[in-house]
Amino acid sequence: MKRLLVVVFLLFPFFCSHAEEHVVFYRFGTKDQIVWNQLGKYFVTKGYRVSFYDGADNLERHVENVNRINRLNASLLIAMDYNIGDKNRLMVAVTTAKKGKGNILAIDEVPAAHGAESRELASLVAGVFKTNVKELPLFPLLGVDMPGIFLGVESTPDRSTEIFDKLHESLQKYFKRGRKDERQRKGQ
């Protein structure tokens, strides 16, 4: 019994290495509560802190949402249009925002501050789903001061768990990548 306890104690950090990560889902499209509740429960059981915000259809409301989101100090944002339908489609996109030259960034330049991390996240997500990353001017990421991507998903009801599993797998790779790089910088 003691050996089992020791093994569990030693391996637990490997399975919950992302537990302190906070993911924000910025919802667009159909806001079917059943689907979003399933997504939230799935990621909470995997050890993530999860926040949901409804996407805005005007700039004023969007800026209000982004101010709240930026205060969370979350690890990343996924602007997501998730629908249950009769087809299986997926799109992963990053913003085309360019960084400004001054010290004070305009709202459309803020996402560029995290461009490299956002592209890396998008590449990992796209790799797991075996699709390409698109670069688009993305309204949902306007003003977001953290790495962020857009994920458009349409899936049949029987593939929901598979979609969640793949997204979790890619997020885990992204977060573990960050820790490995941080340990290298500290000389460990």
Please state the pTM of the whole predicted model: 0.81
Q: Is the pLDDT of residue 141 over 80?
A: yes
**pLDDT score recorded for residue 104:** 81
> Lowest mean pLDDT: which of 109-118, 125-134, 141-150, 179-188?
179-188
Sign of CA dihedral 90, 122, 20, 173: positive
Write the pLDDT tens digit of every residue in 84-109.
Answer: 889 889 999 999 888 877 778 878 88
The CATH H-level (homologous superfamily) assignment of domain 18-186 is Zn-dependent exopeptidases (3.40.630.40)
Q: Nearest to residue 69, comparing CAs of 23, 130, 116, 120?
A: 23
Domain ranges of the chain: 18-186
Helix/strand/coil for 82:
strand
